């Protein structure tokens, strides 16, 4: 049953755009790879590289002349690199970072099929490519994971002790917890971020919308509480799952975070402690806090019809309600079976204890009768 549930959960987790939003072509004169329909940019390179699981991954690398860090971006479950192209370029410009984005196996023009373990191999291949081909050091890399992309991001981050920082954008506690409010981790669950985030040693920024109806804000809140090195989180009031980039606070907070991780580690630790004290005293990190009415128009999201259309692809899709219901029914059956076994074991244990108690009573009853007989003999 666990294998079936895990397989169905994986099917609900991945929605590669069909058809892909781009094509990869090779320019005859230079041999460079180009991404159609986008015009060639001098600072953007289109890449292909293999993974340890046999897929060939498509990625893009955006250079910034003033960059100190490289952002390795793992996108959401319903997008590909072509749909993320303009956002990647904008982030590189505004954050002054080099940026690598890549498509998971089975997404865009990447070969293979999407799966949890393939995404782990995909991000490892992208990280290795940065090290071997661009000379990027581990301590100069910031991992960025959005929605399902938080899975491979946290997995890799938990195994890189010298990583500069991590950004989690609308992250999930685990795949099963998005669909069902389980209280413990099951072996067949996917993307068990809740168990891996305590192993991440670098500063972690979490961004989540308080009105997210796909991945509840409580996912981000719990992950933040489990971080070793907490950075002031960004709970965007009224933000949903696919529009956080439209808020002015989004870029401001990212720039502030990147600026803070440029500082020596001793200064960052001191800053984080002060942030923790402030957050605890004012309680602003609680994503269930009633939002204040703001008169500052700058804090409200800008209206932009063109960018909204571009960013709709970020949505984490769980639209197939029939498949979701099947998983819930199967999970309920598993829970009832487990409870039945536990109840049966408990009943047998109680019955055994009762028999043992009666046996002990009999053993004590016999000597007690013997003592009573002696007392009567002595009295006579």
Residues with a catalytic annotation lie at: 147, 212, 241
Cα 191 to Cα 168: distance, rounded to the nearest angstrom: 13
Name the 3-class secondary structure at 17. coil
Nearest CA to 70 out of 154, 149, 134 is that of 134
Task: Find the radius of gyration of the CA atoms of the chain.
Answer: 28
Contact 59, 129 (CB under 8 A): yes
**Token representation of residue 14:** 């991945």
Residue with tokens 């907490």: 230
Nearest CA to 146 out of 124, 127, 119, 115 is that of 119
- CA dist 115 to 83, 104, 185, Å? 20, 9, 19
Contact 21, 187 (CB under 8 A): no
What lies within 8 Å, CB to CB, of 219 at 6+ separation is 171, 172, 173, 177, 178, 208
């Amino acid at each position: 049953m666990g294998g079936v549930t895990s397989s169905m959960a994986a099917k609900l987790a991945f929605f590669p755009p069909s058809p892909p939003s781009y094509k990869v072509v090779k320019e005859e004169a230079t041999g460079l790879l180009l991404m159609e329909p986008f015009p060639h940019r001098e600072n953007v390179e289109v890449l292909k590289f293999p993974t340890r699981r046999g897929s060939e991954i498509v990625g893009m690398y955006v250079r910034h002349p003033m960059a100190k860090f490289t952002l390795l971006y793992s996108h959401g479950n319903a997008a590909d690199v072509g749909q993320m192209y303009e956002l990647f370029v904008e982030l590189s410009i505004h954050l002054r970072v080099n940026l690598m984005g890549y498509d998971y196996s089975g997404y865009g023009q990447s070969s293979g099929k999407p799966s949890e373990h393939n995404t782990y191999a995909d991000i490892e291949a992208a990280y290795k490519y940065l090290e071997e081909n661009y000379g990027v050091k581990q301590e100069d890399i910031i991992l960025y994971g959005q929605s399902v992309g938080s899975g491979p991001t946290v997995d890799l981050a938990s195994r890189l002790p010298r990583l500069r920082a991590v950004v989690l954008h609308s992250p999930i506690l685990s795949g099963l917890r998005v669909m069902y409010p389980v209280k413990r981790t099951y072996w067949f669950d996917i993307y068990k971020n809740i168990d891996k985030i305590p192993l991440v040693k670098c500063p972690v920024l979490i961004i989540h919308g308080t009105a997210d109806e796909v991945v509840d804000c409580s996912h981000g809140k719990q992950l933040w509480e489990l971080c070793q090195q907490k950075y002031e989180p960004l709970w965007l009031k009224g933000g949903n799952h696919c529009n956080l980039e439209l808020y002015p606070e989004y870029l401001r907070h990212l720039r502030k975070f990147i600026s803070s991780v440029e500082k020596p580690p001793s200064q960052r630790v001191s800053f984080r402690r002060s942030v923790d004290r402030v957050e605890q005293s004012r309680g602003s990190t609680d994503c269930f806090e009633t939002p204040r009415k703001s008169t500052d128009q700058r804090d409200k999201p800008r209206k932009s019809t063109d960018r909204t259309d571009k960013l709709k692809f970020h949505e984490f899709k769980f639209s197939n309600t029939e498949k979701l219901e099947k998983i819930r029914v199967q999970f309920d059956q598993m829970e009832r079976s487990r409870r039945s076994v536990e109840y049966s074991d408990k009943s047998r244990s109680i019955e055994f204890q009762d028999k043992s108690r009666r046996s002990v009573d009999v053993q004590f009853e016999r000597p007690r009768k013997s003592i009573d007989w002696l007392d009567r003999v002595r009295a006579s």
